Amino acid sequence: MEYSNLSGMQLDALREVGNIGAGNAATSMSILLDRKIDMNVPSVSIVDYNDMMEIIGGPEELIVAIVFQIKDEFPCTVYFILSVDEAEHLIQDLTGNKDFTLMNDLYHNELAMSALKETGNIVIGSYLSALSDFIKYNMHPSIPYLSFDMAGAVLTAGLLEISEVSDYAIVINTSILSDASENIQGHFFLLPEPESLSKLFEALGIEND
C-alpha cells in the first residue's frame, strides 16, 4: 500500500489519536502554568522525507526541536519542531520575558531551555500515550534533548540511532493557544522504522499490502 495516499477515514483515525493527545497535553500545560491552554490538531498527514523537509522550510532552515528516541516494541524517532519565531513566542509566553531571543539567549537561559524541554515533554508524552493506548504497543521515550540548528542537521542527528529508517513520517500539526499569546503552530513528527509503521497500520485495521 502507498502510505502517502491514505483514505480520509484512515487519516481521521490518526487525527483522532492526535486530538486525544492534544487534549491531554493542554490539560497538563494548563495545570503547569495555572491558566487555560488550548491545543488542537488542524491536520494529520503521512509524508516522505523530502516533503517533511519542505514542511519545516527546507534543510537549511533554522528550527528548534525536542527529540526523543523510542526503543521498546515500536522503535522510532519523535520530534516536536518549532520555527524560530514560534519558539520565541512560546518562551516569551511561558517565562514572561518579552525580550527573549533565541539567537542571543537560548543556551544562556536555563529557564528558557527548561520551558522548551518541558513543553516538548508534555506534548510528545501526551501524543505517545494516546498512540500507545490506541495501538496497544509499549512506547517509552528516552530522555529528550533540545536542538537549535538547521533542519537537515537536526533530522539527520535524530535518525542516527535507528537501525533502518522508513521512507515515511507521520506529521501531526499542532496548534497551541493561551490567553496570553497568539496561536503558536508546531509540528509533531514520528519517524518509525519500517516494522513499526506496519505495526501501526495493522493496529489501526489498515491493510498494508
Is the residue at 209 inside a domain?
no
Is the residue at 208 inside a domain?
no
Number of domains the chain is built from: 1
Is the residue at 175 inside a domain?
yes
Is the residue at 160 inside a domain?
yes
Is the residue at 165 inside a domain?
yes
Is the residue at 145 inside a domain?
yes
- Chain segment 6-64, per-residue pLDDT in tens: 667 777 877 888 888 888 888 888 887 777 888 888 888 888 878 888 888 999 999 99
Is the residue at 57 inside a domain?
yes
Domain range for 96: 3-203
Q: Is the pTM of this model over 0.75?
A: yes
The answer to whether 172 and 44 are in contact (CB under 8 A) is yes
- Chain segment 150-166, per-residue pLDDT in tens: 999 988 876 666 656 66
CATH number at residue 159: 3.40.1550.10
Q: How far apart are alpha carbons 186 and 65 in whole angstroms?
A: 10
Q: How far apart are alpha carbons 35 and 28 in whole angstroms?
A: 11
Is the residue at 177 inside a domain?
yes
